[in-house]
Structure 1
Amino acid sequence: MTPTERQTKAPPADARAPCPQGRISESTTTRDGVEILDITNYVPFFLSSINNALSRGASNLYRERFGIGISEWRTVSMLAIEPGITAARICEVINLDKAAASRALATLDELGYLDSVSSEKDPRKRLWWLNEKGYELHAKIIRIALRREETLIEGADPDDLEAAIRVMRLMMKNVRKL
């Protein structure tokens, strides 16, 4: 269908979904008779755009200063939170895919930031933790990460920020249903 044909063909009457209950505004609009996303109101657009910008900026900064990217930092952070875990646990908590977690662990191990042992329950799995050098890296990067967070939320009303965090926690639960 050409753009001209699309302009003249109206969508079915039920094509435009009603605004979901609890929503302030709709996530779609119509242009030339076609329902399209209204990215000024579409939550996944904001989450994705903010995450992409944050990840890209952090990855560039961490690569420049420390020789690691955002996947490695997220892995380091997770190992500081929960030492002695498997790659699968890292994937589960921070929603990192298996290949990215494996690459991050391999990179961090090669750079000398990690120690590991085979799991007693399953010798095919390894338990990972930060060694002294890894904790030194963590201590440097966490300061930068927290400053970046402060800049990100600058000007946000504390009550609004608390509400936003509550909603994001709910979305984390709901994303499992998708």
Structure 2
Amino acid sequence: MDQHETRKKRPSAEREAVCPEARISRSTTLRDDVEILDITNYIPFFLSSINNALSRGASAVYRDRFGIGITEWRTVSMLAIEPEITAARICEVVNLDKAAASRALATLDEMGYLGSVTSEKDPRKRTWWLNDKGYELHATIIRIALAREEALIQGVDPQDLEAAIRAMRIMMKNVKTV
């Protein structure tokens, strides 16, 4: 049997049941009667690809210049937005897993950018904030981050950008149900 014949083909009726209003999703196409992703129209592909490229680039710049990566920058940024918060709060807002947030906090603490206090109720929990050195780091990196954002959106019509931001806010809410 040919390797292509071993692929499971989705019958037309099953495809229609998945997306009855369009017969086939706008983000899929048929090739040899097999439904495949059309990544030129698949929103998760764009979101993931853009995020991965931005994160890799930012991490390289921040590691080279400041000795921290993107996870540490996100942590610093969150601590500037909401001082005196727990690792759990950072995870909640920035969508980091607990281990990554803990590593970032430990790294930043070792580098002398943070202050913290241990909870009296639970010695495993700490409240974190940026110290003066941490705010200096934030002030330097935020200029780079904003310049990178400006380069990213260069050429995008302001109305299109507003619509994209509105759509991404809705997707952020919806992602909890996916």
- Shared fold by TM > 0.5? yes
Supply the distance in 1 between the matched residues of 2:165 and 2:20 (Cα, whole angstroms): 23
AA partner of residue 46 (structure 1) = F
AA partner of residue 54 (structure 1) = L
What SS class does the counterpart of residue 35 from structure 1 fall into? strand
Tell me how far 1:132 sits from its aligned partner: 0.5
Residue 57 to residue 20, structure 1, CA distance change in 2 (3 Å): farther
Tell me how far 1:124 sits from its aligned partner: 2.0
Q: 2:34 maps to what in 1? A: 34
2:135 maps to 1:135 = yes
What SS class does the counterpart of residue 93 from structure 2 fall into? helix
Tell me how far 1:20 sits from its aligned partner: 6.6
Supply the distance in 2 between the matched residues of 1:29 and 1:126 (Cα, whole angstroms): 50
Q: 1:66 maps to what in 2? A: 66
2:113 maps to 1:85 = no
Supply the distance in 1 between the matched residues of 2:55 and 2:30 (Cα, whole angstroms): 32
AA partner of residue 124 (structure 1) = R
2:97 maps to 1:97 = yes
2:43 maps to 1:15 = no
**In 2, are the aligned partners of 1:19 and 1:26 still within 8 Å (CA)?**
no
Supply the distance in 2 between the matched residues of 1:58 and 1:15 (Cα, whole angstroms): 43
**In 1, are the aligned partners of 2:9 and 2:35 still within 8 Å (CA)?**
no
Q: Which portions of structure 1, spanning 4 or more consecutive aligned residues, are displaced by more than 3 angstroms?
A: none
Supply the distance in 1 between the matched residues of 2:87 and 2:21 (Cα, whole angstroms): 38
Greater displacement, 30-39 / 55-64? 30-39
Unaligned runs of 5+ in 1: none
**In 1, are the aligned partners of 2:116 and 2:126 still within 8 Å (CA)?**
yes
Supply the distance in 2 between the matched residues of 1:14 and 1:66 (Cα, whole angstroms): 56
Supply the distance in 2 between the matched residues of 1:27 and 1:96 (Cα, whole angstroms): 28
2:160 maps to 1:160 = yes
- Percent identity between the aligned chains? 76
What SS class does the counterpart of residue 36 from structure 1 fall into? strand
TM-score using structure 1 length: 0.92
Residue 116 to residue 43, structure 1, CA distance change in 2 (3 Å): same
Unaligned runs of 5+ in 2: none
Tell me how far 1:138 sits from its aligned partner: 0.2
What SS class does the counterpart of residue 149 from structure 1 fall into? helix
Q: 1:119 maps to what in 2? A: 119
AA partner of residue 12 (structure 2) = A
Tell me how far 1:14 sits from its aligned partner: 2.6
Tell me how far 1:2 sits from its aligned partner: 4.7
Q: CA RMSD in A?
A: 1.8
Supply the distance in 1 between the matched residues of 2:21 and 2:120 (Cα, whole angstroms): 49
Q: 1:44 maps to what in 2? A: 44
Tell me how far 1:65 sits from its aligned partner: 0.3
Supply the distance in 2 between the matched residues of 1:114 and 1:43 (Cα, whole angstroms): 37
